Structure 1
Amino acid sequence: MTGIAEPTAVVFLPFAGAGASFYHPWSAFAGDSLRVLPVQLPGRERRIDEEPYRDVTAAVDGVLPDLLEQLGDTKRVVLFGHSLGAVLAYELAHRLVAVPGVEVLRLFASGSTEPRTPRPGRATGLTDDEFVDRVRQFAGFSDEALDDPEMRELILPTLRADVEMHESYVPSSPDPLPVPVTALRGADDELVSAAQAEAWATATSAGFELVELPGGHMYLADSGRELLALVDRAVHGG
């Protein structure tokens, strides 16, 4: 909007198995007031040869220096994460609020139970076939790459690491986040209920809202434009 010298950076954290490319098309919906900045974790896409993280704290500590470099002069930051990405974004928010000059405006936590609630069900330790079936239940959709033997062999180690990271997650701080939180879910999500999303209210001391959009657990796959508009309204008004 008018009067904003630098666009607000919207930092996107990936769901399990996803890379930064999932969010790249959303730049087309950002306009001049928002800057789409997806985080690329190791073990996928251009970082496919790097060892993936298996611990949320290690992942956040690892991405923070590169993120601060990418932010440059952009000091107004919004964090957005879906499923695994929501707890990564929550932990990253705790780090960023302690960085001088950085203003964390809001956390958007999508498709996730609040941080202190363990992720329901477990896939860690299952055989490959059992693991893939369980992940499909978790995700609420089937990734076609998992049906191709060569692609499955390529992506399964990172997907396993991501799921282990999510299932073993314990918040690093008992303190609520001093940043407003918007919890998001698909209205037909069978994995995260409205009550579970509403519980994110306990994770913040600075204001909360729950927003439901049409669709299931992966509603965001078709909602980039709507989500960027929602972020813009929450941050800049209008």
Structure 2
Amino acid sequence: MTLGPRPTATRPAVAGERWFRRYPATSAPRRRLVVLPHAGGSASFFHAWGTAFDAGTEVVVARYPGRHDRLADPCIDSMAELTEQVTEALLPLLDVPVTLFGHSMGASLAYEVTLRLAERHGVSPAALHVSSRKPPHRLTPRRLHEQGDDALIAEVRRLGGTDEALLSDPDLRDIVLPAIRADFTIVGTYGPRPADPVDCPVYAYLGDRDPSISVQDMSGWADIAPSHFRLDVLRGGHFYLQDHRESVTRVIDARMAGRTV
């Protein structure tokens, strides 16, 4: 679907600057890639993506509250509220075509933002890219967020992708735990929900040794993608992105530019 007129932001532009770390294109951007990190993740995980795309692409990575330079901002533990705030902050950036990429929890968030943009603002992304997360109608609720700190840390370690120093040092762990618990509350209380379709192509990515998601699970994203769906399976676990950053960003870059991959 062609991007419609730029909606009028209902919140000050500064909200968008607080919510997103932007890596400006070297020329006036022709498109934007909006990256939504995983549970417990931050914009810094995707720092290298900032220079991985062509000169016409501006990379925009979400900065969730309660971590790094938003450490003083209250954490959000509701998918509905996170979707609301991310969508509103995104509105001023819709002057060029926008592609969404979400990893793990970020995939569910990207899907919800896509629905919200269409329902409230009449806008669809150029494409939705989802990574390492079951589709909304195949999710099974988990109560991990109701367990103690040790259980949370054990799950974060099992999935990988988090600096071990943050988990091993008691002082650092106390700093990051509130954000981790808030994110796992979102993960544990979201879905299953109806497979409402989106009006854009959907591309899915999965590591072949992901401990929580199978190829069959990931294939279920096709149910919300009536226009186009493709699944790419790469070697690796839940954070296959760490070993395949160049190949994944190259594929996304090509797809944003309209090249068949």
Same fold (TM over 0.5): yes
Q: Is this contact kept in 2: 1:24–1:36, CA < 8 A?
A: no
% identity of equivalent residues: 35
Tell me, in whole angstroms, the C-alpha distance in 1 between the residues paired with 2:161 and 2:36.
19
Shift of 1:101: 7.5
Kindly provide the amino acid, as one letter, of the partner of residue 40 in structure 2: G
Q: Secondary structure at the match of 2:136?
A: coil
* Structure 2 Cα separation of the partners of residues 193 and 120 of structure 1: 17
Distance apart, 1:163 and its partner CA? 0.4
Q: Would you say 1:205 and 2:234 are equivalent positions?
A: no
Q: 1:112 to 1:46 in 2, by over 3 A?
A: same
TM-superposition CA deviations, 1:125-184 (whole Å, max 9, x none): 1111122113323x2456311111001000001100000101101367652112211110
Under a length normalisation based on structure 2, what TM-score does the superposition of the two structures give? 0.81
Q: In the alignment, what sits opposite 2:19?
A: none
RMSD value over aligned CA atoms?
Answer: 2.2
TM-aligned CA distance change 1:173 to 1:35, over 3 Å: farther
Partners of 2:100 and 2:110 within 8 A in 1: yes
Show the counterpart of 1:16: 39
Deviations 1:185-228 (A, max 9, x none): 01222221110111111122221110012221101123322222
In the alignment, is the contact (CA less than 8 A) between 1:185 and 1:194 conserved in 2?
yes
Amino acid at match of 2:151: E
Does residue 52 of structure 1 match 2:75?
yes
User: Conserved in 2, the CA contact under 8 Å of 1:41 and 1:63?
Assistant: no
Tell me which amino acid in the other structure corresponds to 2:163: D
- 1:73 — aligned with what? 95
Conserved? CA contact 2:132–2:218, under 8 Å:
yes
Tell me how far apart the structure 1 counterparts of residues 115 and 178 of structure 2 sit (CA, whole Å).
28
Supply the AA of the counterpart residue of 2:184.
V
* TM-score normalised by the chain length of structure 1: 0.89
Q: CA deviation at 1:100?
A: 5.1
Corresponding pairs, count = 232
Aligned to 1:97: 118
- Match of 2:185? 164
Checking the alignment, whether the CA contact within 8 Å between 2:128 and 2:200 is kept in structure 1 is yes
- The separation in 2 between residues aligned to 1:142 and 1:20, in whole angstroms, is 13
Match of 1:231, SS state, is helix
Deviates most, 153-162 or 165-174? 165-174
Alignment partner of 1:227 is 2:248: yes
Distance in 2 (CA, whole Å) between partners of 1:130 and 1:174 is: 31
